Amino acid sequence: MRKPKKERTLGPVFTIMLLSLVIAVSSLILSLIGFEGQLTSINNDTLESTMILINNFISKDGINYLFGNIVNILGAFEPIALTIISLIGIGIAERSGLFKILFRNVKYLNPRTVTFITFLVSIAASFFGDFAFVVVIPIAAIFYKYANRNARLGVLTAFIATCVGYGTGIMFNNIDLLLGMSTQASASLDVDKSYVYNISSSLYLMLGSTVILASLGSIIVDTFLANKFPKKTPLQDEELHVSKKGLILSGIAFLLMTLVIIYSLIPNLPGSGALLDMSQEGYVNQLLSDNAPFYTNAVFLFTVMMMICGMIYGKVSGNIKSSNEYSLALSTGFDGIGYLFVLFFFSSLLLAIVDYTNIGTVISANLVSFIGSMQFSGIPLIISLFVIVIIIGLFIPSTVTKWNLLNPVVVPLFMRSNIAPDFTQFVFRAADGVAKAITPIFPYYMVMLAYLEKYNYDEENKITIFGVWKLIFPVVLMLIVVWILILIGWYVIGLPMGNGTYVAL
C-alpha cells in the first residue's frame, strides 16, 4: 500500500528569505536591461520629472547597505515598538480577568453577530491607522475564544476587516490629513487654484461604506471562511475569578481616565491641550498632526488605561495578589508570540531590500505614466485607478508614499474628467487598504501570521505565508467587488460625499 505523500510547505521565514532573494536577483536583471521610470513630483509649486533607476542589490554597495545598517533598519521598524507597547496592555487585561468578565456573555451571541461586531469594530479602529492592527487582532482572538469560536477565525476576520476598511471608517484620521495636503497641492497647481481640501469632505461616504462593508463583509466571511475553522479554541483561564465589584471600580477608573483624556484634547482651558500639537493652526491639525501626542501615542494611552484597570480588577477579584504577580502579569501578552519578533526581523530586512532597489518605485512610475496616458473617463477611469493602486500596493505598503507617487498625475487627470479630488483620494484609500490584505510585504501581515500560529493547536496544520494568502484571497476578492460597487454606485447616483461635497465637480 502506497503511503500518502506529505505536503511540502515553506515556512514563513524561508518564504521571506526567498522573496528577498527574488527581489535582489530581479534588481540585478532589471538594472542590466536598463528598466527605469519617469516620476512626476511637485517641488516649489512646480511639476518636475525625475528619472528613477533600479539599484542593483547584488553589488558591493547593496551588500554594504544591508550589513552596515541592520541594527538601524530593525531599530527604525515601527511595528516592533507598537507591538511591545500594545502587548503589555493586552496581557494585563487578560491575566487580571478583565477580558473574561467583559466578554463573559458573548457566547450567547449569534455567530453572525460576533462576525459583524468584529468587522465593524475593526473598520472603526482604522481611525488609528497602523496602530489598529496591533490592538484589534489580539483582542479579536480573545473575543472569539470567549464566543466559543475559533480564535484563528477571529484573527483573520479582524485582519481582513482592518485592511479592507483602512480607507474608510467612522471618522477621518491622520492619514487623511497627510494625503489631503498633497491632494490640494496637485489640484490647485494645475487645474483649480482656488481648490481647498476639506478633511471631512468624504464623511458621508465613509459612514455609508463602513456600514455596507461591515454588513456584507461579515456575511462573506461567515459563508466562505468560517467553515474552514469548525472547532472552537479551548479556554485556558477557567481559574480566573469574576468580580462585579472589580468591574465597577475598574469601570470608574476607565471613565475618569477617559474624561482626563477628553479634557486634554480641549484647547484654551486651564491645564488643557496637553495631548494636542499646539504648534499647529486649526484644531484638526492640532489633533491629528504627526507630532500630536494623542494620535502618535494612542497605543501607549491604551496600554496605560489597561494597566490601571487591570491592576484594579486583578486586585479586587483576587486574580492578582501581589506587586510581583502584577509585574509578571504585564508580560503574559508575550506568551506564545515570540515568533512574531523573528518574523519582524526578516520582514524589516525584506522591506529594506525593496526600498534600496527602487523596484516598487520604478514599477509605480510606469503605472502612473500608463494611467496618465489613458483616454478613459468616468467609471473605467475609477476602476483603472483602483486596480493600479492594488498592483502598486504589492510592492509599496506605505499609504503616504504611494499617494505621493500617484497624486501629481491622477488628481488633475480625474479633475479633467469632472471628478472631485476628494473622491479621487477616497478611491485611492479604498484600494490601498485592499492591497494591504494581500501583500506579505505589509509588516502587519506578520502580526496576523504570528497570532494564527499562537492559536494553532493542530500540529498537522502548517501556517505559511502563501497558505494563508490562498485562504483569504477569495474573501478579499469578493470585498474588492463590494468596494468597486460602492464607489461606482456613489458616482452614478451622485450622492453627496460629505457636507456640500459631491463626486462630480
* pLDDT tens by residue, 213-250: 999 999 999 999 999 887 777 666 658 888 999 999 99
Given this model, what pLDDT does residue 179 score?
A: 93
DSSP state letters, 371-393: HHH----SHHHHHHHHHHHHHHH
pLDDT of residue 6: 53
pLDDT at 1: 43
d(CA 161, CA 126): 9
pLDDT of residue 58: 92
Mean pLDDT of the chain: 90
> Is the pTM for the entire model greater than 0.85?
yes
Strand partners, 38: 51
Nearest to 472 by CA among 106, 224, 179: 224
Residues of the chain above pLDDT 90, percent: 67
pLDDT mean over 324-335: 92
pLDDT tens profile 126-171: 888 889 999 999 999 999 999 999 999 999 999 999 999 998 988 8
Cα torsion at 121, 125, 127, 129 (round to 10°)? -150
Q: Going by C-beta distance under 8 Å and a sequence separation of 6 or more, which residues neighbour residue 35?
A: 54, 362
- The CA-atom distances, in angstroms, between 90 and each of 79, 146, 264, 486 are 16, 15, 24, 35
- Return the C-alpha cell found at 89: 496592555
pLDDT at 231: 75
Give the start-to-end residue ranges of the domains of the chain: 12-502
For the segment 428-449, what is each residue's pLDDT rounded down to a tens digit?
999 999 999 999 999 999 999 9
User: How is residue 433 written as a grid cell?
Assistant: 487598504
The 10s digit of each residue's pLDDT in 475-484 is: 999 999 999 9
Give the pLDDT band (50/70/90) at residue 370.
confident
- Alpha carbon dihedral 53, 437, 468, 12, in 10-degree steps, equals 40
Q: Is the pLDDT of residue 3 over 60?
A: no
Contact of 152 with 452, CB cutoff 8 Å: yes
Residue 258: is its pLDDT beyond 90? yes
Going by their DSSP bridges, the two strands 46-53 and 36-43 should be labelled as antiparallel
Supply 281's cell numbers.
Answer: 493652526
- Cα–Cα distance measured from residue 165 to residue 429, given in angstroms and rounded to the nearest whole number: 9
pLDDT at 296 (0 to 100): 86
> In whole angstroms, what separates CA 175 from the centre of its chain?
11
- Report CA 64 to chain centroid distance, whole Å: 32
